[in-house]
A and B are shown apart, each in its own frame.
Chain A
């Protein structure tokens, strides 16, 4: 590694702007976990295969292990810590809680964020659309059934909160 491989970027994470000095090989995952202490984003493969590190980048779900820090300068990231507020869980978090949508919980943040991206785009998805939207996230406890139920329940919660015309 050479000392010159550094750059400064600005990055908005969970609605807060950061100015960060990053090294060229650093991934967004490394920045989130090791610089910003946002350890809710999980590392599972480093190769875009498991989805545990899924975050929203300008609203789109991405694998944080596959984005270089240098690629995300000026952009906005939402992690699991950025959902809900101090008093309230996000409806998706509430639904995962209410429907036992986790076993070990390690893949849960990634699933919640993939589901968040789906519901933001499509508030009333079919089961197949849910399965497709979550197909980039692995759950080895195989809680898929309850995860899918959780997403359906979240869609329901959202529609009750904001009745559509």
Chain B
């Protein structure tokens, strides 16, 4: 079933056209990604879909009974209700229906109704219909649904009675998403849902969305996430939309292929045009050939000329540099703990780790364990409750705020940068902004009018100008489009200073981090490797835990099992022993052969015949190589014991 169709859609902001001739079709069970540059109009398109913005031309068709759910980029629930009660509001109608059913049941015993046969029968018929409807609509299921979605979003029974307005920003976003998922709209529109989710929640969401019964439209800059979920990609580029089938990786391949093909066709047509034009020019004036030339000219006029295929749009480019080198020891955190003045529990405690120059540390951990808080303590915005931080020599700290609170929304983009560095001339500031994709009049836009991604780029530009030798980044990849993200990755990879960052983008962490610090309420664990290594270690620990538990519980079944495994082990042992013996024998045999060869080589008629001598030395070499191999095998077998 088609859930929504857009045809020839145009959207303008004032005189500027944002979207032009957008064609889009959404069917039930489609998993659609909308991709494009920051500021390409993806969020605008979603808002038009959701009916929050009007469009200027074109048409949108949506069947009347199709329900629609939209999660915008910066939503969070704001209410005094408790988590569970807020989720219950989604099922208000079902709860009302349940109350009606209970009332009807109570009425059944009413003597007044019982005495009147018609009204009694009517009541029974009504009750029957409503009872069946109630079941069909999930009346018996909604409570378990709420629990499962809340668990997925990592809210547990203990949290259910917590008032929502006491939660953190990330938690509120997660609740808004949870509420939307519970409504189960036919068309689910999510604008960057992955921004505030931690990795576990993301994995859960991937699973949930994959088996979602309606259509899903997502804008996201998380490659892993898109690859897992979507089967159709719409690219918004240069105001137009183009449809690709397959997941995100496939889209990239297809796009490159398309570009190549278009370019080939274009070149082919160009040579053809050139040929025709030449012919016309040469032959038009000659009487004998002028007819032919005229017909060719007509052909030329009729030809559908292809536009020059346009490759990738301009990418942001930047690199981070340092003004001076910091000391080798950058930071030493010792038994740090933090508690909000009005809080009754530590956000975290016993956090200790060291940071050396050149480290690229990823700080991971679930939402709400105080990663942002820790960063804020490092830059001195907050004061730790207990513990010490030793700062190294010659540190210049640069901080990237996930909320972009350091931007002044009344200024223009140009002034935002210029005011911080008044000694620079306008041209230089504009060049830098140009690198961050703000060209021409863009720099005169007010910061408050920028999209999320554009604000992020302004913040990064500011950070770059600071030339700090320690960068502290709080979710730098949020809001950035995929290309900008790649460039940020490259810039950070070649950054000569020290880096501490929080991110939930798995790909990003894996690319950048050389150390992973896992923060939890009870402390911090340092893993000396990238994100894959961290995951490996975690899996290992889990296995170990499971193993420990396993050994603790000894049951008769296990005794049986251990007997079988012991038998197997003995068998393996014997097999190995045999194998070792075989190897030893073979080595012995080869050694004998070598000796024989050596003796042969000493005989005069052999060493004078150079061909035969060569043959023999060759054979000896091969035998030696074989022995070497066998020795290695023998060694490894012994090591196993």
| A and B pair up | no
B residues sitting closer than 8 Å to A (CB atoms) are none
